């Protein structure tokens, strides 16, 4: 069964600090992995996408890594801002299949 | 581009009533997805349309749920009769292709059934 597990479930950090979110998956065959950001009351918005051959992808202060061998990904937030407070969802896409596998998300709270 | 448009944004209804959620996908996108999001189960795919044709409705929880896509720019998700356990946020998403291409999500409809 295709599964995506994220950790931690939630975290609180002070503004300006860094944090790292983890994602482990068992989806096979693998096509790509995306990190989505979901603000409260909004729909998820894609931050990064990585395919099998990519190890790192950055989008501003967000940096995602992928280890396809161990089936692990991480999302690193640098110099956090209050606007980074949101839920971050790891989404894995299998090859030749429209059914995405969603993680439960990590809720990040940035405090001043 | 206005993005995926959903209406209403919030819906509060009594148990037994009919509820209709609406979605306008991004122009040019030929795939449309309806999802349900709850705290307990996260995001779940309800139904997938490709070129206005329902391809996979295996995620529709019961016969009380139905979805239509009469044309490329409009889709509805209907619940009749509604029950309290249907309370959730319902998202519509669209994409240009399946799987490998990004799905763009709408703002969602928060449904509360009392």
Can you give the pLDDT at residue B55? 93
* Cβ neighbours, 10 Å, residue B63: 7
**Token pair for B96:** 């240009």
Q: Is the pLDDT of residue A23 over 60?
A: yes
Cβ-based contacts of A32 with chain B (< 8 Å): 100
Can you give the pLDDT at residue B1? 62
Can you give the pLDDT at residue A95? 78
Q: Is the pLDDT of residue A4 over 70?
A: yes
| A54-88: pLDDT as tens digits | 999 999 999 999 999 999 999 999 999 999 999 99
Pick B6 or A93 by higher pLDDT. B6
Can you give the pLDDT at residue B54? 95
* A45, A53 contact by CB (below 8 A): no
- Interface residues on B facing A, Cβ-Cβ cutoff 8 A: 4, 31, 33, 42-43, 45, 48, 55-56, 91, 93, 98-100, 102-103, 105-108, 110
pLDDT class of A98 with cuts at 50, 70, 90: confident
How many pairs of residues across A and B have Cβ atoms under 8 Å apart?
Answer: 48
DSSP assignment letter at B102? P
Q: Is the pLDDT of residue A28 over 90?
A: no
pLDDT class of A2 with cuts at 50, 70, 90: confident
Asked if A105's CB is within 8 angstroms of B107's CB, the reply is no
Q: What is the 3-state secondary structure (H, E, C) of B45-93?
A: EEEEEECCEEEECCCCCCCCEEEEEEECCEEEEEECCCCHHHCEEEEEE
Can you give the pLDDT at residue B46? 97
| B93-112: pLDDT as tens digits | 999 875 566 889 999 999 99
| A6-20: pLDDT as tens digits | 999 999 999 999 999
User: Which residue of B lies nearest to A93 if distances are taken between CA atoms?
Assistant: B99
Pick A28 or A90 by higher pLDDT. A90
Cβ-based contacts of B99 with chain A (< 8 Å): 31, 93-98, 100
Residues 64-103 on A with a CB inside 8 Å of B are: 89, 93-100, 102-103
pLDDT class of A94 with cuts at 50, 70, 90: confident
Asked if B106's CB is within 8 angstroms of A98's CB, the reply is no
Q: Is the pLDDT of residue A1 over 90?
A: no
Q: What is the share, in percent, of chain A residues with pLDDT greater than 70?
A: 99
| Positions in chain B short of pLDDT 70 | 1, 98-101
**Strand ranges (DSSP E) for chain A?**
4-7, 10-14, 19-25, 30-38, 45-51, 56-59, 62-67, 72-77, 86-94, 101-102, 106-111
Asked if A43's CB is within 8 angstroms of B56's CB, the reply is no
Q: Is the pLDDT of residue A90 over 90?
A: yes
């Amino acid at each position: 069964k295709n599964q995506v597990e994220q950790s931690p479930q939630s975290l609180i950090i002070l503004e300006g600090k860094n944090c790292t979110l983890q994602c482990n998956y068992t989806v096979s065959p693998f096509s790509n992995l995306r990190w989505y950001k979901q603000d409260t009351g909004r729909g998820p918005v894609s931050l990064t996408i990585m395919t099998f051959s990519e190890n790192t992808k950055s989008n501003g202060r967000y940096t995602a890594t992928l280890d396809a061998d161990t089936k692990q990904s991480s999302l690193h937030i640098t110099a956090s801002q209050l606007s980074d407070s949101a839920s971050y969802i790891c989404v894995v896409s299998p090859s030749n299949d429209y059914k995405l596998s969603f993680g439960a998300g990590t809720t990040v709270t940035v405090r001043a | 581009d206005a993005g995926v448009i959903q209406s209403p944004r919030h819906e509060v209804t009594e148990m037994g009533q009919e509820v209709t959620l609406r979605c306008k996908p991004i122009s040019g996108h030929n795939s449309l997805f309806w999802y349900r999001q709850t705290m307990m189960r996260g995001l779940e795919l309800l139904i997938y349309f490709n070129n206005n044709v329902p391809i996979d409705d295996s995620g529709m929880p019961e016969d009380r749920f139905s979805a239509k896509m009469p044309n490329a720019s409009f889709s509805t998700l209907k619940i009749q009769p509604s029950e309290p356990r249907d309370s959730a946020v319902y998202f519509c998403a669209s994409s240009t292709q399946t799987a490998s291409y990004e799905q763009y999500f709408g703002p969602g409809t928060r449904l509360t059934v009392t």
